[in-house]
A and B are shown apart, each in its own frame.
Chain A
Amino acid sequence: MSMLSPALELRHINKSYDGVIALNNASISIAPGSIHGVIGENGAGKSSLMQVAYGLLQPDGGQIFIDGVAVSLKGPSQAIEQGIGMLHQQANWLEQLTVFENVMLAEPSIGLFNRKRAQARVKLELLCREFGFEFSLSTKLSELDYSQRQLVDVLRSLYRGVRVLILDEPLALLSPTQAGYLNKLFITLKLQGISVVVVSHKLAVLHQLCDVISVIREGVVTACVSPKLVPLSELSILMIGRELMLPPSRVEPKIVAKDVLLNIQSLYVKGVSKGRKSTAYVDLTDINLSVFSGEIIALIGQPKAGQEVLLDVMAGLVKFKSGTIEFKQRVINSNSGFSVKQARELGIGYAPSPLINDGMVDMLSMAESVYLGYQQQGFGRWGIISNEAKEAHCRVMMENWRVLPILPAMQSSLFSGGNQQKMVLARELAQQPALLLLNQATQGVDASASDYLVRQLFSLRDRGASVIFYSSDLDEVMSLADRVCIFNQGRMVEVIMAANTNKADLALLIAKEPNDA
């Protein structure tokens, strides 16, 4: 009610599903006419909080205020009425419909032949001209590229009189020019009194652009800082640093690596970028990497920069278009094909990202899940095995890794995410692979298990095997890796010896845009 009321405020929002807490007393306040950045790791709760603000998610507790007045948002239509708009990263558009039809989707009071339709057209064209959008209202969405589609969403929000526009990861799939255009658009909106909330991983961009940045960790908004007062490097530490845990101590390798275990040359992987898939990824171009046996390599970069795709390719899950992979003297090129089964037979183990959790099948018991990928062994020569043997095997793993409750017969989805991940790691390590691939392996895993994992990795390395892992935790990277490869937009832009760098430098390298000096 006062002139200084925040345009949008969320207070003490709680949300949990399936017993997992997504938002824990999160509060955020968006001032009118400001550009507000929201940062946090994967799974920290950024998207959940924004979905609550837009009415897509109903919180278990907490309140929403718009211009100081408490509102109840049962769904996006109420949020839109209240002036909140949201742009999602993917899957927002109806390809065969025109811009006009997409913008007017679900807009009440537009009939078939009444005047409102013509009036709406006029208003939209005015808006297009005002903001410099270059597409015509009758173009089909399928003919527009990604950045233009985003602008269609912006147009819709503008038409509906948006006052707080939330954008969920708008910059991830844009080229630098397109991103620059979007940034200018934000400033234009801000000047019109519209608040812009940007959720993103691009710390450097947010640092330059935003008036305020909120940091979310584990479901709580832990900090709300002004970029003018806080340097970029501290931002990343605010986001990912684990102040309670000391970084695991590094163990130097006992033998100096000599033989090349894995050699990747000129690898090219065609990306998937159509708006539909949530696992969209960029093209990987010109990847070259040599890995010695007994080496630990870290792949780092912003999310979706390509490091996860490379892991998938090496595991046999994703096909590559050209280039060669040489593993243990076996040459694999794009014609010979490389299946998951072959990868396993060669001795490549893979622990996929726990956030997607493909390594576990929800409805199988834990004892059975432990065989996923290694069915041959689990089931003996005649393809038959007794349940007791399965459970005994599982029980041993659970004891080693301290997975509770020790109930191998319980359905795997009922174990906590961290425990499921522990079992995935246990499964792969038990195979004593020659090359172990890890994708964000310690996400959600507690400190003591992380420690156990690190020790296991070191002993694996000492036996001559190699490890390639992707982690967004730079402490972990520094203590584990011998070499660090930095990915950006599908290219491996740098490879550094861990001894020659430190955490802060790495953070800056990750945040660097390809066009920066």
Chain B
Amino acid sequence: MNDFSWILLFDAAIRLATPLLFAALAGMLSERAGVIDIGLEGKMLTGAFAAAAWAAISGSALQGVAVAMGCGMALSLLHGFACITHRGDHVVSGVAINMLALALTSLLANRLFSQGSMTPILLDQQRLPALIFPPIVDDDWWLGQIYWQLISGHNILVYFAGVLVILLYVFFKFSPWGNQVIAAGDNPKALRRAGGSVDSVRYAAIIAGGAICGLSGAFLSVGHGAGFVENMTVGKGFIALAALIFGKWRPLGVLMACLLFGLLEALAIRLQGHYLFSEAGGLPIQLLEILPYVLTLGVLAGFIGPSLAPKALGARR
């Protein structure tokens, strides 16, 4: 185990946790307001495609990110139209959005780039830059190692995710609009009786969530990755949902949950060739893969603390 660097592991964990974090935070906004958001996967995928496609065509990753956020918001608007305005079933709408996203991104990728449902590989200037911190510490000793590997040098969106967590924490704890979102999800009757508009609050929350979820996809294709591949999210949206539940719908909890899932994924990749998990060794790699899912089931079953879902989540009224 001597080539096993914990610091590198955590470094990878942060990177892998970032898309989950964005998506989970988006879901948090939506669900705290009372709208179930199964469509995280679809919005992530659409964001990934939009960012990559725009970056490939226009050359600017930043514009691509903006477009990704716009697409996320558009899908959220659709979701709101179905669920809020027309009192449709939240879950069915979310499933529809996922299917729609998968179909549209594949179709468009095919038509635009004729490379079989993927965008061309993006060059460095078409991706988002990493942020290198100023050299205030030497990398000889352990603090320096942590500084250089773990803290500095991540993609710019990673830091933004961290900032977002703080922003949302403040939002829910201290700001009156945060209270309105909480009311819309926990007790919409009370909000209505106090003179607020439940529908407006919900629309605002899910549109904001849509933008953030678009960011999640953008990170995958122009931040961390270098282009869009068909169905590149492969269930990350659902893991984000699991992280949301595991994190009990609170910003800090969600952060912890995403880091945990990121760590598990990093471990899985790291240990892939390792003795314990090699073919001859014994334990299948899939065990690590399914750990997030099993954990989620545990949370849902109430074994890992009570579920603190917003009380009016998914109510059609």
B28 CB, nearest partner CB in chain A, Å: 15
A77 at the interface (CB under 8 A from B): yes
Instruction: List residues of chain A with CB within 8 A of the CB of B149.
Output: none
Q: Tell me how many residues of A have a C-beta within 8 Å of chain B.
A: 26
Once A91-B189, A93-B187 are accepted as A-B contacts, the answer to whether A101 and B194 lie under 8 Å apart by CB is no
CA A56 to CA B193, docked complex, whole Å: 8
Interface-centre pick from B182, B186, B194, B197 (highest chain A CB count, 10 A): B194
B250 CB, nearest partner CB in chain A, Å: 11
B176–A75 touching, CB < 8 Å = no
Partner of B196, one of A95, A106, A276: A106
Instruction: List residues of chain A with CB within 8 A of the CB of B191.
Output: 105-106
CA A96 to CA B187, docked complex, whole Å: 11
B183 at the interface (CB under 8 A from A): yes
B189–A77 touching, CB < 8 Å = no
A93–B176 touching, CB < 8 Å = no
Partner of A92, one of B176, B190, B195: B190
B274 at the interface (CB under 8 A from A): no
B194–A156 touching, CB < 8 Å = yes
A448 CB, nearest partner CB in chain B, Å: 38
Instruction: List residues of chain B with CB within 8 A of the CB of A112.
Output: 174-176
Once A86-B193, A92-B190 are accepted as A-B contacts, the answer to whether A97 and B180 lie under 8 Å apart by CB is no
CA A228 to CA B174, docked complex, whole Å: 51
Once A76-B195, A112-B174 are accepted as A-B contacts, the answer to whether A105 and B189 lie under 8 Å apart by CB is no
Partner of B176, one of A91, A96, A111: A111
A107 at the interface (CB under 8 A from B): yes
A110 at the interface (CB under 8 A from B): yes
A75–B175 touching, CB < 8 Å = no
Instruction: List residues of chain B with CB within 8 A of the CB of A105.
Output: 176, 179-180, 183, 190-191, 194, 196
A118 CB, nearest partner CB in chain B, Å: 14
- Please encode chain A, from 76 to 97, with 1 for each CB lying within 8 Å of some chain B CB and 0 for all others: 1101100000101001111111
Once A56-B193, A80-B195, A86-B193 are accepted as A-B contacts, the answer to whether A107 and B186 lie under 8 Å apart by CB is no
**Majority SS of interface residues in chain B?**
helix
Partner of B179, one of A86, A94, A111: A94
B195 CB, nearest partner CB in chain A, Å: 4
B270 at the interface (CB under 8 A from A): no
Once A91-B187, A91-B189, A94-B186 are accepted as A-B contacts, the answer to whether A101 and B179 lie under 8 Å apart by CB is yes
Instruction: List residues of chain A with CB within 8 A of the CB of B186.
Output: 94-96
B192 at the interface (CB under 8 A from A): yes
Once A94-B186, A94-B187, A97-B182 are accepted as A-B contacts, the answer to whether A76 and B176 lie under 8 Å apart by CB is no
Instruction: List residues of chain A with CB within 8 A of the CB of B197.
Output: 75, 77
Instruction: List residues of chain B with CB within 8 A of the CB of A86.
Output: 193
A104 at the interface (CB under 8 A from B): yes
Instruction: List residues of chain B with CB within 8 A of the CB of A111.
Output: 176
B175–A106 touching, CB < 8 Å = no
Instruction: List residues of chain A with CB within 8 A of the CB of B311.
Output: 276
A324 CB, nearest partner CB in chain B, Å: 33
A92–B175 touching, CB < 8 Å = no
- Across the two chains, which residue of chain A brings its CB closest to B176? A110
Partner of B194, one of A91, A95, A106: A106
Partner of A91, one of B175, B190, B195: B190
- Across the two chains, which residue of chain A brings its CB closest to B188? A91
A400 CB, nearest partner CB in chain B, Å: 38
B199 CB, nearest partner CB in chain A, Å: 11
- Across the two chains, which residue of chain A brings its CB closest to B189? A91
Instruction: List residues of chain B with CB within 8 A of the CB of A76.
Output: 192-195
Instruction: List residues of chain B with CB within 8 A of the CB of A276.
Output: 311
A77–B190 touching, CB < 8 Å = no
CA A95 to CA B180, docked complex, whole Å: 13
Using a CB–CB cutoff of 8 Å, the interface residues on chain B facing chain A are 174-176, 179-180, 182-183, 186-187, 189-197, 311
A/B interface sample: 8 pairs, CB < 8 A = A75-B192, A77-B197, A91-B187, A92-B189, A95-B186, A105-B179, A106-B191, A106-B196
Known: A54-B193, A92-B193, A101-B176. 8 other contacts (CB 8 A): A77-B196, A91-B189, A93-B190, A94-B182, A105-B180, A105-B190, A105-B191, A106-B183
